[in-house]
Amino acid sequence: MALTGLEIFKLLPKTNCKKCGKPTCLAFAMALAQKRAKLEECPDVSDEAKEKLSAASAPPMRKVIFGTGDHQVQVGQETVCFRHEEKFHNPAVLGVTVSDKLDAEAMKKRIESINSLQFERIGIKIGVRTITIVNDSGSPELFAKAAEAVKEGSDLAIILVTDLPDAMAAAVTKVKDRIPLIGCATPKNAEAMAKIAAENKCPLIAKAESIEALSELTEKISGSGVEDIVLTIDGESVKDKLYNYSRIRVLSLKKGFRPLGYPTISFVTGSDDDQVALGVSCICKYSGIVIVDTIEPYALLPMLTAVMNIFTDPQKPVQVEPKIYSIGEPDENSPVMFTTNFSLTYYTVESDVEASRIPSYILVVDTEGTSVLTAYSGDKLNEKTVADAMKKYGIESMVKHRKLIIPGYVAVMSGKLEEATNWEIMVGPRECSMLPKYLKEVWN
């Protein structure tokens, strides 16, 4: 956690020698606290002070990376509890389990199904990003074999889960070049597990039944040289787990409590439907990694969409590319309407135009990702931006008619727009949900 100016001052030489360019040590301390100065600018600061200050400036939640190449994933390093305060930085990673009890054929099929859980939304690829091998068999050989099969069959980042150090040692050697996340270290096996993690340079999951036990456990693990840790709470009700993940978030970010300053992982079980509900709760409330058993696309798609939405930057709206979109198979007699490039606006309009079943062109004007009225009042949507977009994307050559339907909320721009384009302006409904009815009435 960041130190205050006074706390930093206590660690400085207090000689006021001015070599740092500041009149006093206190002034330098204040500048440091506000990140207007760098510690190196004081030549006389002690090693002890350096260590304390650099520890204090480390992020309150550690970043943990596993997997390799394009399939590397990164979790943690979150800075806020509520997305509107700043943003959530590293989208929750969704993963699916593979049991080492499956026979070769079933395992191959399951791995393939997991690989195929990839989707596209609003022009962005989203999908399952990790595959979790679970040592249900208790056998080191089977666990190692499963690890090999997954390595063979999937490029996704790998997580290895067993409480048995022997099994872990056997499996990790097969996949260590893929930098798996391994676990779980518990209060009982921590030493052995930490040793395996250190030797193979893998991040380690720490698992305990309470956050008190968890913080003792991470102290022990980091004491043995493993710094990349992921936390999980075991053995309590779903409710207790969710409350505990929230406490961990607050203790690490608000209290700077180092032993809990790590990302978390949740293992979600139950019926396919229940996994979606719990999974989404974990995604919103502070699990960096969420592992499910289900491989149903209908279950994964909403969870992945939730990740996408919750982790968008609240300061920077999601946008669609400004251009002409064809809905259905429009021809030279089809209606033309415009909207803005704010994803929310565009997709709302798109689904209503689709619902009308009248093939149409939607001209998307670049409004820097703002809604119709926001753009209009911010002067990003006016006769000039619309006319320019019509020209730029060549709507004139796509239709024979010269009629443009505009959103009802910006009816006031009709006159000027007619002048700027020489097209007939038709004022559409305010809510695009009325577009199907409107189109049926005016376009027949």
CA–CA–CA angle 25, 29, 32 (5° rounding)? 135
> Which of residues 314 and 415 has its CB atom nearest to another protein in the complex?
314
Q: Exposed e or buried b for every residue in 425-438, given b needs 16+ CB within 10 A?
A: bbbbbeebeebbeb
> Which of residues 21 and 314 has its CB atom nearest to ligand SF4 in the complex?
21
List Cβ neighbours of 330 (8 Å cut-off, separation of 6 or more). Answer: 359, 360, 361
Of 40-69, which residues contact ligand SF4 (CB under 6 A)? 42, 44
How would you write 186-221 as a 3-class SS string?
A: CCCCHHHHHHHHHHHCCCEEEEECCHHHHHHHHHHH
From the list ligand SF4, another protein, ligand B12, none, which binds 435 (C-beta under 5 to 8 Å, kind-based)?
ligand B12
List Cβ neighbours of 21 (8 Å cut-off, separation of 6 or more). Answer: 41
Of 346-375, which residues contact ligand SF4 (CB under 6 A)? none
| 347, 418 contact by CB (below 8 A) | no
**Binder among 218, 370, 385, 421 for ligand B12 (CB under 6 A):** 370
Give the Cα separation of 203 and 229 in Å (integer).
6
| Tally of CB atoms within 10 A around 156 | 23
> Which of residues 26 and 301 has its CB atom nearest to another protein in the complex?
301
Give the Cα separation of 278 and 236 in Å (integer).
14
**Binder among 10, 18, 36, 384 for ligand SF4 (CB under 6 A):** 18
Total interface residues for another protein by CB under 8 A? 58
From the list ligand B12, another protein, ligand SF4, none, which binds 356 (C-beta under 5 to 8 Å, kind-based)?
none
Compute φ and ψ for 329, nearest 5 degrees.
Answer: -120, 80
Compute φ and ψ for 46, nearest 5 degrees.
Answer: -75, 160
Give the total residue count for the chain: 444
Instruction: Say which amino acid occupies 253.
Output: L
> Which of residues 76 and 407 has its CB atom nearest to ligand B12 in the complex?
407
Residue listed under structure tokens 């409330």: 285
Query: Taking CB under 6 A as the rule, does residue 11 contact ligand SF4?
Result: no
Task: Return the structure tokens found at 220.
Answer: 């022990």
From the list another protein, ligand B12, ligand SF4, none, which binds 212 (C-beta under 5 to 8 Å, kind-based)?
another protein
Task: Return the structure tokens found at 414.
Answer: 């009709």
**Binder among 8, 20, 102, 131 for ligand SF4 (CB under 6 A):** 20
Site track for another protein across 189-218, x = CB under 8 A: ----------------------xx--xx--
CB of 41 to another protein, least distance (A): 32
> Which of residues 37 and 146 has its CB atom nearest to ligand SF4 in the complex?
37
| 328, 305 contact by CB (below 8 A) | no
CB of 22 to ligand SF4, least distance (A): 5
CB of 417 to ligand B12, least distance (A): 13
- Segment contacting another protein by CB under 8 A, of 44-52, 225-233, 251-259, 332-340: 251-259
Query: Taking CB under 8 A as the rule, does residue 378 contact another protein?
Result: no
Of 334-363, which residues contact another protein (CB under 8 A)? 344, 347-348, 351, 354-355
Report the interface residues with ligand SF4, using CB under 6 A.
Answer: 12-13, 15-20, 22, 25, 28, 42, 44
